[in-house]
Structure 1
Amino acid sequence: MKPVINFMGIRHVAFAVTVILTLVSLGSLAVKGLNFGLDFTGGTLIEFAYEKPADLNKVREQLRGAGYEDAVVQSFGATTDVLVRLAGDDPQLGNKIAAALLEADASNPAAVKRVEFVGPTVGEELRDQGGLGMLLALAGIMVYVAFRFQWKFGFGAIVSLIHDVIVTLGVFSFFEIPFDLTVLAAVLAIIGYSLNDTIVVFDRIRENFRLLRKAELIENINISTTQTLLRTLATSISTLLAILALMIFAGENLWGFSLALFIGVSAGTYSSVYIASILLIWLKLTRDDLIPPVVAEEVDERP
């Protein structure tokens, strides 16, 4: 039999770390808020057509040199088409940026194809719908886990997921990293990833309640977590390596998305081992909780 790692032996330290991270994240969100990107705050969208394939990094440097530090530059369709998004509603903004780019590099001139203004009302609607979608996802997960396992498992899973989301948002708030739709998509992906890790541990705990009849809850959790550790590490490390590759090679447009995933996957691995399991101890999960209630059958007393 493999040696059992005493994960729950440091549960009080883990709880203290969890409380500190959560409070710091909530404090930053309350004081500083999130640095919403143009997807949520509104701004101007300008599409350029270059004569030759455009170098996005070079375009970003040219815009920063011209005083447009907050401009978001991305490829749009062909390699000669570039999309620029930045704050402001000046009708002449597209021509001004085109002139700045031409002045910086006359060898590959850019022509303005279209200029669109996205108002803050649309951004607020996207933000509200994104937040509502996150809440609905958490509520649906809690209902699923409660029916699939037991309500104590459901409560533990939802608290660990909320922790992962709060920590991820807290990092973005504390360091004032732009929060746009790609980051919101990453946060929703984090919920699904973290739930998968938690379900694997929960399923083994439930199975070991039947196999290890004399084991106490803490011993069961240690054994179950040890048994699933290799699977958890293999999944987390491979996922983090793929995300790290995105952070390094995917460019500036996907950096926030990749960073959110990196933070969320790391927090999700931690919360699956400690937060969710610690809550099972606090809620005093027993073997009897997993026994389905007996439904009394009606007896027909008619002769």
Structure 2
Amino acid sequence: MSSSDRFEKARPRLLGLAYRMLGSMADAEDAVQDTFVKWQSVEGDEVLNPDALLTTICTNRCLDYLKAAHRKRVDYVGPWIPEPLQTDAGSDPETDLERAQSLTTAFLMLLERLTPKERAAYLLREVFGKPYEEVAETLQLTEAGCRQLVSRAARFVRSNATRSVPSAAQQSALLNEFMSALATGSTDRLAGLLADSVELRTDGGGKATAITRTLQGSEAVSKYIAKILGRLWDKSQTFEIEINGQRGLVEYEGTTIVTAMTLGFSDAGLVDQVFMIRNPEKLAQLEKLIHHDTRSGALWH
């Protein structure tokens, strides 16, 4: 197999890793392209484990991107939410729940609260199934150090991530109640579907109208949805699609998507997070369908 063919075979997996690391498909694609450029300078015959080397190059490029992103986030206007993807995971009966959930907005937001190396170690080991020896070599740490990173990250994820996501039909029913609240202005039925601790974040990035604080509590969130968004959203231009592996809503203005909404859920199946993305730079790629292999974590157009 040629050097280029090896890279192309690995590209979907590298893209899946880079997007989870960075929360931005544009940055992920740049990181993967940077990986290809560096890979071209490697003498293929001298590489014993090409996949491991490609993973190392891509991971470390992503860590460089995260350093630059941290500086940008300081000046970011309002809450930051990962770039949404319109996904197609198919209907694979062998879906790995943990891998399937590792693409959701709620999960990516959890990763944001880990250190960059914790995030990398956790993804490489728990989502992409890399052996500790390879993770350690990629991050230039000892195996013991990597085990500690993964253990610490896994404890955090387990204590914060829901283990039971409602079915697609149940998610659609929740979104229908959201649409009903927008249309009627009534919060009665919607409030009953929200966890008491629900939070609503809107990411406009200073480029679109958005609230710059996080709303908390079922009463505040349900009233905002019914009373404020009910006046602002064009219900006739709102459609349900799959966003990051879960059912979500997109609002159009003409032929342009101006809002994307996705949800996070509590263990009881109630909505405990509402994510609304309005930053046009983050919505630009949402028209493109991204395929997600839930068994491998790979992403491709």
TM value normalised by structure 2 = 0.25
Q: Which has the larger radius of gyration?
A: 1
TM value normalised by structure 1 = 0.25
Q: Which structure dedicates a bigger proportion of its chain to helix?
A: 1
